[in-house]
Structure 1
């Protein structure tokens, strides 16, 4: 059984489906849920006059606060324990997938839930690049929630003993 579930959220429709699945699993397993929003630090590839990267970062933080407040309200409504968390990607040498993995380790997650394609869209043929990198480096089962599939299928596939099937599930882009 899962007792500590981390779910990555980014405001995309797919991450909303992932959160729904994680919330249902947490409720059914009486597990602690940690919704996670990762702030990606914008890098400047060149010196642009008048460009202030803090404006973009502040927008990410504001969106994260809104998403995490919504997640917490839904968790309270469903009587699911847990605390949402916002983290920043380290400025040099770290990406979103690495920060998700590190945070899952810190949380001692026994299940990671994320959407196959988030804000960054369809960068890869089958899996989003962040989802793919998380699966490759995760030290616990990963439930990947595709963008167009019923929630029942996600949750049924994520029951203990079916993690390999859940991690392999994805939907071809149409």
Structure 2
């Protein structure tokens, strides 16, 4: 059974669904849940400092709300606001380092379900993470992209 669950949040529409699923699985397994947001410093580097501060503020608020929901569901929990290390680091690699350090038994994360050219151009954090994951991954597909 799962003892440590990581739930990866990104502020998208699917984040709410991802958190709901992590709560459901966590309650069934009586697991500890760690809500994580990974900020991509390379992507944010081209924006003004006030925008970057706003992104981090929004991420912290989202994690605080997730922590409150997890606690009110009776789950032991923590949150982590992470940053990629440098321009060559990726969100998937940063998330994998966190999963390994915890160590997690399950990762719950969203996927936008893009295909074709949109996937080629925009990439897929979920796919990149799946390729390197050392534990089971439960993907929740976004309703907007479906």
Is the Cα–Cα contact under 8 Å of residues 71 and 77 in structure 2 kept in the other structure?
no
* 1:77 equivalent in alignment to 2:72: yes
Is the Cα–Cα contact under 8 Å of residues 5 and 107 in structure 2 kept in the other structure?
yes
Aligned partner of 1:29 in structure 2 is 29
Structure holding more strand per residue: 2
- Once the two structures are TM-superposed, the CA of residue 57 in structure 1 deviates from its matched residue by 1.8
Q: CA separation in 2, counterparts of 1:43 and 1:117?
A: 24
CA distances 1:60-81 after superposition (whole Å, capped 9, x unpaired): 1101111011001101110100
Which blocks of at least 5 consecutive residues in structure 2 are unaligned?
none
From 109, 117, 134, the counterpart of 2:112: 117
What number of residue pairs does the alignment pair up? 140
Q: CA separation in 1, counterparts of 2:93 and 2:16?
A: 21
* Structure 1 outlier segments of 4+, above 6 Å: none
From 115, 124, 127, the counterpart of 1:132: 127
Normalising to structure 1: TM-score of the pair? 0.74
* 1:16 equivalent in alignment to 2:16: yes
* 1:68 equivalent in alignment to 2:63: yes
Q: CA separation in 2, counterparts of 1:124 and 1:9?
A: 20
Structure of higher CA gyration radius:
1
Normalising to structure 2: TM-score of the pair? 0.87
- Once the two structures are TM-superposed, the CA of residue 5 in structure 1 deviates from its matched residue by 0.3
Structure holding more helix per residue: 2
Which blocks of at least 5 consecutive residues in structure 1 are unaligned?
45-50, 149-172
Q: CA separation in 2, counterparts of 1:88 and 1:57?
A: 12
Calculate the aligned-residue CA RMSD, in Å.
2.1
